[in-house]
Chain A
Amino acid sequence: MITKEPVITVKNMVKKFGSFVANDNLSFEVYKGEIFGFLGANGAGKTTAIRILCGLSSPTSGQMNVAGFDVYRQTEKIKQNIGYMSQKFSLYEDLTVYENIRFYGGVYGMNIADRKARTTEMLDRLELTAYKNRKIGDLPLGWKQKLAFSIAILHNPKIVFLDEPTGGVDPITRRQFWNLIYEAVEKGITVFVTTHYMDEAEYCDRVSIMADGRIVALDTPEKLKEQYNAANMDEVFLKIAR
């Protein structure tokens, strides 16, 4: 359920690497419970922005608030309240499914009873219960991605940041992956997702499109298609990029 209550507020965010401006004066809000798509070509500045919001990198200037906490002073609080899944696959291949879950549960300071209950529920939903003692390295990529996402939201964060989560995954698994995202949203988790795939942009509630470090468009997929007189998001993207 989407409200107009912002969980991420970004005002005039600037990030420079030397003389290179990776994020040029970004301003946007993400509302509680929405799926916010963050689109752009490679090198447009998506990953830089996501890293700043997750507290992995410090901004050059601007005011940013994530999950009610200030990006400059309260990164620890932010980290406790978000989940993060990066471009690279991020589970430990030499650990079993169960050991990975226990590790991340431990890192986020979940109490044991809570963690166990959620683990059972999660493995059940992913149909991985029979595989819980298998090493991650033995599982197919699609399963790993779904598991990585489920682990990223294991501690029930307010926001989950997904940085190109479906790279290299087949269309069926991508569809299943998005079903998991919808389930997360139903639980009240806000989803901030970057992607290359324009069909995935259609699944988002609102989409921002970045080019050369700036946000050049931000609206619902429907309105963007109308505005740019395009049949689908792919066309919108091509028109903007041109």
Chain B
Amino acid sequence: MSRFLAFLRKEFYHIFRDPRTRIILFGIPIAQLMLFGYVMTNEVRNVKVAIVDHSKDDLSKRLSQQLLSSGFFQLAAIPSSESDYESLFRSGKVKEIVVFEPDFAINLIKEGKANIQVLADASEPNAAQLTVNYTTAIVNNFVKNELMKNQVLPGINIKVRMLFNENMRDAYNFIPGLIAVILMLISAMMTAITIAREKEMGTMEILLASPLKPIQIILGKVVPYMILSIVSALVVLALGMLVFNVPVIGSFALLLAEILLYIFLALTLGILISTFVDSQLTAMAISGFVLMLPSILLSGFIFPVKNMPIPLQIVANLMPPRWFIEINRTVMLKGGGLNEIWPNTLVLMGMSALFIFISIRKFKIRLQ
């Protein structure tokens, strides 16, 4: 045991002295959290608009007011003529222009019909689509609430409820996904790098020639990163809950157990990678390309797996995060329990067992 503790102490020296390790361990999780939390947001907030009111009547003014007070839009310009539109878009000063036709209120009341033109900057198609949708929704709402208060019109009223994420908050999507990505990074990548480092430096030989058993060496390498992974997972989870208000509706204990299982899986994957590589750089490259990109792009974190072409779906199904993110979403957002997630849990367990099996075989071959 004291041998093992000596080993652990050494590992922590490595971790806290290597700037690269520090950046990966602490910098990247924080950067990703900021990135997904504040930068890469799909939500519409304070979009810069210009409003051109050729009518300037009571109704057009009230509708403009409604748009601007919704919190989604921010008045950025009042163009005097149509010739200004293009330069406003081109310079990026506005993302949308709303134009009221002359005699807006009169047309609406007399003929029951009036026109608003909405111009959007579709050089960013997704953002443009979202912005236009929000505008349309506000206008429709205005018509319904302000103009037809006392009328009963025939029509189909669609009532939409977005279950499990009523307000369509982005954080509900990225916090469960981010936990998967960050844990993959710390557990798998760092384990692979740290074992590759011992090989590269030649110290692995010395360790193997010492009375330490191979299992002690592996555990000594893995335990520190396991501790850091758990801390990291808890920090991201806590930030998600406190700062981004993501709920954990299901059992918290179950969620933690699944997180532990996933960490274990990621560690075995790291060990597996390290049995194939002899240098830190290769370990880093393989972890980066084989783990990081797919775990962001193919895991269903950003793009739904079900919408991918079949070959990519097959690849996605080989990615541990793809199964773990589903577990996270089910437990955190839908309040699901083992009843719903046991297949995913089995997949994660199966993958861990497979990785351990291959690693041990590789290791035995190496010793022969």
Contact = CB atoms under 8 A, between A and B. Distances in A.
Contact of A89 (B6, B9, B202): B202
B2 A106 contact: yes
A106 B205 contact: no
A79 interface: yes
A106 B3 CA distance: 5
Contact of B211 (A79, A91, A161): A79
Contact of A94 (B5, B17, B205): B17
A56 B193 CA distance: 22
B69 interface: no
Nearest to A55: B209
A72 B201 CA distance: 28
Given A88-B201, A90-B203, A109-B2, A79 B210 contact: yes
Contacts of A92: 10, 13-14, 201, 203
A76 B3 CA distance: 14
B74 to A, nearest CB: 51
Interface in A41-86: 54-58, 76, 79-80, 82, 84-86
Interface string B144-161: 000000000000000000
A85 B205 CA distance: 9
B166 interface: no
B339 to A, nearest CB: 47
Given A92-B10, A99-B10, A102-B6, A86 B202 contact: yes
Contacts of B9: 103, 106
B368 A58 contact: yes
Most buried by A among B2, B18, B210: B210
A86 B204 CA distance: 10
A66 to B, nearest CB: 12
A55 B207 CA distance: 12
A104 B9 CA distance: 12
Most buried by B among A76, A107, A108: A107
Interface string B189-212: 000000000000111011111111
A95 to B, nearest CB: 6
Contact of A108 (B201, B203, B211, B368): B211
A107 B212 contact: yes
A90 B202 contact: yes
B205 A90 contact: yes
Nearest to B198: A92
A82 B209 contact: yes
Given A58-B368, A94-B17, A107-B7, A87 B202 contact: yes
B3 A56 contact: no
Contacts of B162: none
11 contacts: A57-B368, A89-B202, A90-B202, A92-B10, A92-B14, A99-B13, A103-B10, A106-B7, A107-B6, A108-B211, A109-B211
Across the A-B interface, give the 10 residue pairs with the lowest CB-CB distance, nearest first: A106-B6, A88-B202, A84-B209, A90-B206, A80-B211, A86-B205, A79-B211, A94-B17, A54-B209, A103-B10
Interface of B: 2-3, 5-7, 9-10, 13-14, 17-18, 201-203, 205-213, 367-368
Given A76-B211, A107-B3, 13 more contacts: A56-B205, A58-B368, A80-B211, A84-B205, A86-B205, A88-B201, A90-B202, A94-B13, A99-B10, A99-B13, A102-B6, A108-B210, A161-B209
